[in-house]
Every structure is written in C-alpha cells, then in structure tokens.
Amino acid sequence: MDYSILADIYEKLEAVSSKLKKTEILAELFKSTPTSELPKIVLLIQGRVFPSYSEYELGVAEQMMMRAIALATGFKTEKVEEKFKKTGDLGLAVEECIKSKRQSSFAKKKVTVDDVFGNLQKLATITGSGSQEKKLKLITELLVSAKPKEARYIVRTILQDLRVGAGEGILRDAIASAFLTGDKAADAIEYALNLLPDFGEIARIAKEEGVDGLENVRVRIGKPLHVMLSEKAESIKEVLDKHGEVIAEWKYDGMRVIIEKRGKDIWLFTRRLENVTKQFPDIVELAREHLKPYQCIVDGEAVGIDKKTGNPLPFQMLSQRVQRKYDIEKMVKEIPIQVNLFDVICVESEMLISKSLAERKKTLEKIVAQVPGKFQFAKQIVSSDENQLKEFYEEALKARQEGLMLKVPQSHYVFGRHTDGWYKIKPTMENLDLAIIGATWGEGARASWLTSYVLGARDTKTGNFVEVGMMSTGLTEKEYEQMTKTLQPLIVEEKGRTVRVRPKVVVEVKYQEIQKSPTYGSGFALRFPALSRLRPDKGPDEVDTIERVKKLYESQGRAG
Ligand code: AMP
C-alpha cells in the first residue's frame, strides 16, 4: 500500500473530532486493507511499529529529528528549529520545509507503507557506536522521498506523537464495525485484547475468524496479558456482609509480576505489560527451579527486601531495579527480592481462569516448590470472622505491607477488570494517583529543573485531565533532576517559565485535605499536596477521576 493513502487517512482523522466519524473512517480503511498488511496498518494507525508492550524503542529525540529534517530538506538546523518553535510540532515543521523547498515531487520514488514500517522497525534495533548516524540515514532516506503530508506523519510517528486522536476505544469499535456482527462482538474483542494485547493481531483474527476466533484466543506463553484488578472496599465488614467468607491475603507493597514458563524459558511481565525478564535474573532462576510444570503462568507480587533488616523496602527502591538496564547483577545483590505468589492462570495446556479461586489455590500449591522468604505463597487465611481478619490486617501493616486483599473463594480470574472478586483494604485518607500535566522551571540554583508540578485528575466525560493542585514538595534533589529529564520530552507548550506536558507521568500524592476551588478547572484543590511516590507502574488511564476527588471531598464531611 502507498503511504500516501495512510497519510490521507491520518489527515481525515485529524480533521474530525467526532468519535463516530473517526470510527467510520477507520472501519473503511480496515475493510479495504489486504489481510497481510492489516496488522501493520493497525499498528501505524496507533502511531506504532511494535505492539504497546514491546521493549523496542525507536530512540529518536527531537534534536536528532531536526538534524534529519535539515539533511533531507537542505534547510539549516537552526531554521528547522525556528519553524519547530513556531508550530510546536516537528511534523508541521518538516511539512513546511519540504513544501517551500521542492517545487515538484512527481519525479520522486513513491513511499510505501512497507518502506516506513521497515525503516522504523530498524531504528529500534540499531545500537552501539555509530548508531546515531545510522538512524539519521534511515530517517532521511524516508524524508527525501516523502511528500510534505507524508513527511508530517512519518516524523510524528517516529517521535511517538501522532496527534490524530484515534485511541483504543475507537480502534476497538472500528475493528468490530469492519469485520464483526452481533452483540457479542464488543465483548469478544475486549476479552481477546486482554489475553493478546496487540491490536494488529486482534484485527487479523477478527477478519479471518470472526467472533468465534476472538473468543478462542488463548494466552500465549511469552506474551504479556492484562492482569486481574481489585476494587477498593471501605471496610472488612462491607466485604463479609456481601460474600460471607473470604480468602484474605497480605497486600504487599511491590511490583505485580506475571511469571510465564515454558521449559527452561521464563518471561516476567508487569501489570503494565512491560517485559522485565532481563532486570530480574534472580526471579527467572527461582521460577525455573521451583515451578514444577513444563508450562505455566502464575501471578504474584515481588517485594524488595532490606538486606540489613529483612524488612520490605519502599516500592521506589524496587522500581530502581525495574528501570535498570546495566549492572544488573550488582542490583540483584543490592536489592534482593521476594516473590509472593497468589494465583495461577494456566498449567500445561489447561486454562484455569474459569475455575474458582479456591480451586486455583489448590493447583498453585501443587505446582510450586516454595523457597521460604524468596519464592513463596502470599500470606493468607480463609475466614468469615471480622475480628480474626482485623488481626490479620494489623499484622500486615505491622510487617510494613500495604493492607489486605480480600478475595471471594468462588471468583473466577477476570483479565484486565476491576471486579467484585478481589477487594483491597488500605488505611486512611486515600492518596490520589494523578497525572502531571504541567510544570514550572525553578529559580536560582534550581533554574535548570522543573520543580513544581501541575497535577491533573481524569475527567471521564471528556477524556481530558483537569487541574487539582500544584505540587512542589516530597522530591529529593535527585528526583527533581530525574523528573525534569522525564518531563522534558513531553512538553507541548512553553509560556514564560511554565510548561504544559503530555499527561504521561503518574504520581501518587498525599495531601492534607481537599478544598473547593474557583480557580482550578476541576472545582477542587488539594491542600499541601506532596509526592508519596512515583507510579511508573500506572498509566494515564489509571489516574484517579474527578468523581473520586469529589467523593473524597464529600467524605470529609464538608460537602456543599
Ligand atoms: P493498587 O495498586 O492499590 O490498585 O492495588 C492493586 C495491586 O496490589 C495489584 O496490582 C498488585 O500489584 C498488588 N498486590 C499486592 N499484594 C497482592 C495480593 N495478595 N493479591 C493481589 N494483588 C496484590
């Protein structure tokens, strides 16, 4: 397929704001795409060349892109930068450059979808010395032949900022509308995506095998999946009143880890579908030795352990291991882990998700050879006695864990959903998980750091983030520096000393109280917000909603 067809579609998507219209445009495109190209087209529509869970990164920053544009168009880099500053979008900058430089482009070689897809995938595999030059070559090769509009989207795709507003919901509806009929279509797609979170593959299955095919999607060992999630309960009593008896487990303060095994091969995935196998050779080793089946998937929580005291470490310490790409063996020694297993999803070729939790627990006991303190079952009791459960809760808190998970013994394993099968119980005025949507440059010695952050809650009606506060405490010097590095590539607008950033970074925030606010878009303001911890395990779609802020405000007893 010619890339120009895709560029036209992007432009159409950009021009309309109605979700329905966008869905229609995409459904038409998918219908007319040959099956062999469908997975690629679906990924490109998302602005990707790898599924969302892939570890591959294109690794091209704005600076390198400006050089590539300069090379391809003959403009000086400073000129490109000037255009970038004016539009805030290197896509538009390159488009302008090409338009004003080239009088005619009819003699040029046509750019195909394969050309773009191929070169972009190659970008991710280039490492080591001379990699910058090699990357530049791959990008300029595309831009030299691209028409202005094509260049706009090639550049934006490489910078992972496509700006056409075709989110996952729209994509899901478009695939359904292109290939499926009947009222089971939406559920079938959602089910399949939880097990196989790759829209390209899902579109292919929908086209070739329909609803049946999607319903028959099996977990694939070696691929991530959307784990089961919990709901918050106000009290132990509330859950007991509803369900009678529960399996109560300690709620550990660590990292969710899905362990997948086939023979000697082990894969580790987080709740956000990241592959963390390389970062945790210690867990790999334990899993290889102590999971008995040839093939299985188990679910648990990994906690960092303080070498001196044996106590659990704060999550932030463990997250250093998640982010580490080098000196991994050193980290293994510095921050030892403990894996607490609590569920099993499949054993050999048998899926266990429709078995009750009580049955799955029995299977889990059979397939794991525990190593106390290292690779063990989550601490649990089965009880219907409120006092006994309260004691167990106190025990968990004393052991510096977060609280309890109360699980319904009859519940099935439900992928990717907050269900009434699992409840979490945590103490106090709840912290809020919020997105950073803006920031301000510091003063004096801190002038090169972004030091205060605008916090946003999610508005489920519009899909936007609205301001609920400004946070500038709770970070160490090092964290300010790190946060600045993280936020800089996300800046979309700069005015004086303040910037607006794309809502990608999620932070857990503590605060003293919630007040009504006439100045903030949300109508509420957090008093004295401070960083509790970074939440690299959460995405913007998991940020707390305005409704939740309002509920918490009301629960302070001062509504109205
Ligand atoms: P939250 O992050 O507060 O929404 O709580 C849900 C998270 O608690 C899960 O994703 C797990 O990472 C973690 N967790 C800790 N212990 C358990 C447990 N025993 N069962 C399930 N999840 C647990």
pLDDT digits (tens, 9 = 90+) for 431-466: 999 999 999 998 877 888 999 999 999 998 888 999
Torsion of CA 192, 196, 198, 204, to 10 degrees: -60
Pocket test for ligand 1, best of 253, 301, 341 (most atoms within 8 A of CB): 301
Could you tell me the distance, in angstroms and rounded to a whole number, from the CA of residue 403 to the centre of ligand 1? 10
pTM greater than the 0.75 cutoff: no
Q: Which residues of 163-176 are buried (b: 16+ CB within 10 A; e: fewer)?
A: ebebeeebbbbbbb
Residue type, 542: E
Ligand 1 in reach of 424 Cβ (< 6 A): yes
Ligand 1 in reach of 249 Cβ (< 6 A): yes
Ligand 1 in reach of 204 Cβ (< 6 A): no
Atom 12 (ligand 1) nearest CA: 256
Is the per-residue pLDDT at 24 higher than 70?
yes
Is the per-residue pLDDT at 104 higher than 60?
no
Could you tell me the distance, in angstroms and rounded to a whole number, from the CA of residue 183 to the centre of ligand 1? 33
pLDDT digits (tens, 9 = 90+) for 196-245: 999 999 999 999 999 999 999 988 999 999 999 999 888 899 999 999 99
Ligand 1 in reach of 301 Cβ (< 6 A): yes
Is the per-residue pLDDT at 313 higher than 90?
no
pLDDT digits (tens, 9 = 90+) for 322-354: 888 888 999 999 999 999 999 999 999 999 999
CB 346 within 8 A of CB 352: yes
Binned at pLDDT 50, 70 and 90, residue 429 comes out as low
pLDDT at 422: 97
Could you tell me the distance, in angstroms and rounded to a whole number, from the CA of residue 422 to the centre of ligand 1? 10
pLDDT at 355: 97
3-state class of 309 per DSSP? coil
pLDDT at 559: 28
Name the maximum alpha-carbon separation found in the chain: 81
Going by the DSSP 8-state scheme, the letter that residue 513 receives in this structure is E
CA geometry: angle 530, 532, 534, nearest 5 deg: 110
Binned at pLDDT 50, 70 and 90, residue 380 comes out as very high
432-559 CATH pick, 3.40.50.2000, 3.40.50.1860, 2.40.50.140, 3.40.190.10? 2.40.50.140
Give one DSSP letter per residue of 225-276, joined into a string. -PPPEEEE-S-HHHHHHHHS-EEEEEE-SSEEEEEEEETTEEEEE-TT--B-
pLDDT at 556: 58
What is the C-alpha to C-alpha distance for residues 502 and 510, in angstroms, rounded to an integer? Answer: 22
Is the per-residue pLDDT at 29 higher than 80?
yes
**CATH code, 238-425:** 3.30.470.30
Ranges of each domain in the chain: 238-425, 432-559
Quick one: 140 exposed, middle or buried, by C-beta within 10 A (0-12, 13-18, 19+)? middle
What is the C-alpha to C-alpha distance for residues 407 and 157, in angstroms, rounded to an integer? Answer: 43
